[in-house]
């Protein structure tokens, strides 16, 4: 290093002047020319400003960048500041002012508004120095960065757009598969598409199990970026099957034209004239008027394909001034349509299975008898989720001795297997209880034994209650409620006067555990109930909630029953369900109610049976405190 420095001085040059340059000597002229070339290449404009006199000296590049004439520049710094964007002016003045005060450097990035209204971006660097003459001057260099700024903005826009696409894919993957209802799925798909990929859209799905055609399509959802226009889109989407049939191609031409392309899984893009084309294919009426009012410029129609073929169409529309989706946006639409097609197919399958299971269950849950002086009402509400079907059941029948038996139960599980098991248990219990006067505890014990011997591999809860009445009780206006529970909620009694209450009494083990326990005791409890009372049995779906304890659920049940005290029995059951069962119920619910109407004081004996077939035997069976299964 020492030898290099001496060599440089020996040649009459400054030490370090050739730093980074090999084999070329630089003198002052060369250095000046290089600086000039660098300034020209970078398109840098320069100025010198004397704050004391407001004298401003500018080069041609600086004036050209700010669109200043020589005369304007000669007027002083105010002409330059007049070009700076108003929102950036105060910041620039602060930076220059601080440099002048401290005799230091400054830098700023700001916008310039040219006379023609165009906006340019500049980067400015400068320094405040005092010359040998004692005059303070501000030296500055400015370079236009508009292209760099626009490139950065475009890169940020593309990054945001890609992030939005990724987020949309994630939302679609998470949400579409959870929609078991086709119409909810259609609406959700529409809200995913709008406004990110289109101004408005309509989701149509195939009705029934036949082949896809315009005649079998029905609207399943729609959305618009402008909420005020949602009713207009609804009108445009509200085409009947007959209107669609007349709007679509003839049967022999169904494979031709845009619709034929959709049926073959192709995407149809209308870059212009969408309003005219769509309106021309629709019959005269409100729907066509709505399309004309919405006035779409472009459209993209995508098939919703399931594993077995086309199950619907996603129709996306853009307004005037917005191009139709293309490139990555079109790929994203195709991805959403593919996901939605599989989701629609799955939702239709689940709905079909649910309808079959519900039909089976309702067929098993027959109407209750209506014995003399008793009024019975039953309600069954399936769960909102398609898999949640099958477990709950109710029953009521009259035994040979005239006593009315009430049953309600719940098979563990919520699927078609639970529905099948429910049918078996309900049928066996009814068969065991209708041929002889078996009391509740013995009835449950016999059912437990039958389940073990027939290898019915399921568990269930149930409560069996029997209404019994002697002539003396008839004269006194009371009835005995005899009941036994296998792990189930006890009955609720609402007397003519006083609060509703849950009956006290121990509950036994669930049905189906005899193979483990070797037989379990079934305890019976009795309650004297005044005539005019209402007795209610329900399954756990009515009282259990994830956000509250069972005790809280029971209290809600009791308050709802008391609030509907003056209602008819049917209206009371409806009011309780309306208050306690949410619209999207997580579990199915069964409710059985019986109202014991007042009776004449004098019993009317019949020659062939007990006095009240439906209220109790003339001489009830001997009371057994409990029965053990396994015998």
Q: At what angle do helices 440-453 and 416-434 cross, to 10 degrees?
A: 130
Task: Say yes or no to pLDDT of 426 above 70.
Answer: yes
Structure confidence at residue 387 (pLDDT)? 44
Residue 118 has a CB neighbour count (10 Å cut-off) of 10
List of residues 6+ apart from 44 with CB closer than 8 A: 38, 61, 141, 142, 143
Helix (H, G, I), strand (E, B) or coil at 58: strand
> What is the pLDDT, as a whole number, of residue 364?
66
Residue 11 predicted with pLDDT over 50 = no
Average pLDDT, integer, range 445-471:
91
User: Which is more confidently placed, 115 or 263?
Assistant: 115
Angstrom distance (rounded) from CA 250 to CA 253: 5
Of 180, 176, 177, residue with least CA distance to 388: 180
Instruction: Say whether pLDDT at 241 is over 70.
Output: no
**326 pLDDT higher than 70:** yes
Q: Which of 383-387, 400-404, 470-474, 570-574 has the lowest mean pLDDT?
A: 383-387
pLDDT above 70 coverage of the chain, percent? 77
**How large is the average pLDDT for residues 347-356?**
74
C-alpha pair distances (Å), 155 with each of 63, 131, 160, 447, 586: 30, 44, 9, 73, 47
Interval 53-67: pLDDT, tens = 999 999 888 888 888
pLDDT above 90: percentage of residues in the chain: 38
**Residue 129's pLDDT is what?**
92
pLDDT band at 518 (very low <50, low <70, confident <90, very high): low
- pLDDT exceeds 90 at position 358: no
Q: Which pLDDT score is estimated for 253?
A: 45
For the cut 90, the answer to whether the pLDDT of residue 152 exceeds it is no
Domains and CATH numbers, the chain: 36-144 (3.30.450.20), 154-353 (3.30.450.40), 373-600 (3.60.40.10)
pLDDT at 601: 61
pLDDT for 85 equals: 94
The predicted pLDDT at position 397 comes to 93
Higher pLDDT, 246 or 44: 44
pLDDT of residue 35: 57
pLDDT at res. 482:
97
pLDDT for 139: 92
pTM: 0.51
Measured in degrees and rounded to the nearest 5, phi and psi for residue 310 equal -75, 130
Sheet containing 217-224, strands listed edge to edge, beginning at the edge strand earlier in sequence: 217-224, 200-206, 309-318, 298-306, 268-270
Q: Which of 140-149, 152-161, 204-213, 539-548 has the lowest mean pLDDT?
A: 204-213
* Per-residue model confidence as pLDDT tens digits over 295-310: 999 988 888 888 888 8
A 10 A CB-CB count for 134 gives 6
341: pLDDT strictly greater than 80: yes
DSSP run (H or E) holding 36: helix 28-42
More confident residue, 534 or 15: 534
Q: Is 246's pLDDT higher than 90?
A: no
Q: CA-to-CA distance for 564 and 576, rounded, in angstroms?
A: 8
Quote the pLDDT of residue 412: 82
**Structure confidence by residue, pLDDT tens digits, 577-624:** 999 988 777 788 899 999 999 887 634 443 333 434 344 443 343 334
Check whether 489 has a pLDDT greater than 90: yes
DSSP string, 432-494: HHHSS---HHHHHHHHHHHHHHTT----EEEEEEEEE--HHHHHHTEEEEEEEEESSPPPEEE
Q: Is the pLDDT assigned to residue 41 strictly greater than 70?
A: no
For the chain, what is the mean pLDDT?
Answer: 81
pLDDT at 128 over 50: yes
Q: Which residue carries 């226009």 as its tokens?
A: 229
Mean pLDDT of 493-514: 90
243 has pLDDT over 60: no
Rounded distance between C-alpha atoms, residue 97 and residue 103, angstroms: 10
CA distance 491 to 593: 10
Identify the pLDDT of residue 428.
Answer: 92
Q: What is the pLDDT of residue 399?
A: 94
How many angstroms separate the CA atoms of 446 and 142, rounded? 98
Residues 45, 42: Cα–Cα separation, whole Å: 9
> What is the distance of C-alpha 378 from the center of its chain?
33
pLDDT-derived band of residue 268, with 50, 70 and 90 as boundaries?
confident
| pLDDT at site 103 | 92
Alpha carbon separation from 345 to 179, 260, 274, 426 (Å, rounded): 11, 20, 29, 34
The pLDDT score that the predictor gives to residue 499 is: 95
Run of H or E residues at 119: strand 119-130
Q: How far apart are CA 481 and CA 358, in angstroms?
A: 32
Q: Taking the CB of residue 532, how many other CB atoms lie within 10 A of it? A: 15
Q: Which of 609, 301, 612, 607 is nearest to 472 (CA)?
A: 612
Q: DSSP assignment, residue 565?
A: T
Instruction: pLDDT band for 149, please (50, 70, 90 cuts).
Output: confident
């Amino acid at each position: 290093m020492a030898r290099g420095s001496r060599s440089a001085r020996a040649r009459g040059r400054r030490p370090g002047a050739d730093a980074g340059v090999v084999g070329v000597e630089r003198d002052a002229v060369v250095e000046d020319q290089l600086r000039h070339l660098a300034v020209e290449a970078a398109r840098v404009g320069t100025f010198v400003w004397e704050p004391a006199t407001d004298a401003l000296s500018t080069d041609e590049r600086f004036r050209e960048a700010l669109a200043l004439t020589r005369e304007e520049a000669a007027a002083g710094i105010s002409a330059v500041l007049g070009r700076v964007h108003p929102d950036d002016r105060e910041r620039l003045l602060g930076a220059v002012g601080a440099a002048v005060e401290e005799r230091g450097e400054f830098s700023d990035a700001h916008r310039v508004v040219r006379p023609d209204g165009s906006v340019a971006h500049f980067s400015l660097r400068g320094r405040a120095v005092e010359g040998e003459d004692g005059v303070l001057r501000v030296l500055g260099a400015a370079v236009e960065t508009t292209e760099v700024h626009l490139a950065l903005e475009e890169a940020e826009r593309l990054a945001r757009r890609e992030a939005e696409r990724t987020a949309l894919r994630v939302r679609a993957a998470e949400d579409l598969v959870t929609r078991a209802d086709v119409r909810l799925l259609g609406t959700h798909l529409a809200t995913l598409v709008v406004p990110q990929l289109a101004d408005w859209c309509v989701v149509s799905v195939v009705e029934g199990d036949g082949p896809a055609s315009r005649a079998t399509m029905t609207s399943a959802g729609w959305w618009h970026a402008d909420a005020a226009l949602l009713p207009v889109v609804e009108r445009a989407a509200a085409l009947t099957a007959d209107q669609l049939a007349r709007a679509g191609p003839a049967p022999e031409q169904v494979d031709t034209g845009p619709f034929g392309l959709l049926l073959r899984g192709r995407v149809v893009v209308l870059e212009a004239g969408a309003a005219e084309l769509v309106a021309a294919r629709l019959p005269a009426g409100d729907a066509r008027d709505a399309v004309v009012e919405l006035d779409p410029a472009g459209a993209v129609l995508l098939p919703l394909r399931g594993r077995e073929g086309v199950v619907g169409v996603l129709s996306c529309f853009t307004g005037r001034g917005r191009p139709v989706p293309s490139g990555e946006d079109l790929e994203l639409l195709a991805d959403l349509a593919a996901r939605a097609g599989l989701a629609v197919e799955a939702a239709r399958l689940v709905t079909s299975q649910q309808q079959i299971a519900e039909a089976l269950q309702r067929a098993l849950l027959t109407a209750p008898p209506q014995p003399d002086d008793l009024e019975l009402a039953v309600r069954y509400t399936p769960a909102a989720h398609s898999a949640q079907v099958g477990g709950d059941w109710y029953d009521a029948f009259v035994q040979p001795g005239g006593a009315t038996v009430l049953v309600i139960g719940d098979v563990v599980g919520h699927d078609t297997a639970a529905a099948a098991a429910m049918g078996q248990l309900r049928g066996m219990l009814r068969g065991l209880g209708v041929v002889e006067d078996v009391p509740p505890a013995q009835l449950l014990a016999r059912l437990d034994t039958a389940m073990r011997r027939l290898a019915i591999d399921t568990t269930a809860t149930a409560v069996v209650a029997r209404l019994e009445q002697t002539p003396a009780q008839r004269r006194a206006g009371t009835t005995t409620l005899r009941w036994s529970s296998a792990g189930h909620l006890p009955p609720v009694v609402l007397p003519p006067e006083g609060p509703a209450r849950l009956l006290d009494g121990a509950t036994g083990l669930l049905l189906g555990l005899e193979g483990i326990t070797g037989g379990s005791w079934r305890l019976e409890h009795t309650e004297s109930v005044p005539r005019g009372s209402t007795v209610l049995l329900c399954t756990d779906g009515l009282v259990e909630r994830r956000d509250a304890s069972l005790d809280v659920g029971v209290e809600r049940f009791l308050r709802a029953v008391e609030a509907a005290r003056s209602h008819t029995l049917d209206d009371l059951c409806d009011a309780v369900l309306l208050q306690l069962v949410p619209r999207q119920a997580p579990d199915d619910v069964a409710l059985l109610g019986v109202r014991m109407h007042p009776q004449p004081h004098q019993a009317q004996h019949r020659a062939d049976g007990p006095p009240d077939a439906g209220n109790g035997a003339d001489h009830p069976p001997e009371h057994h405190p409990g029965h053990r299964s396994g015998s």
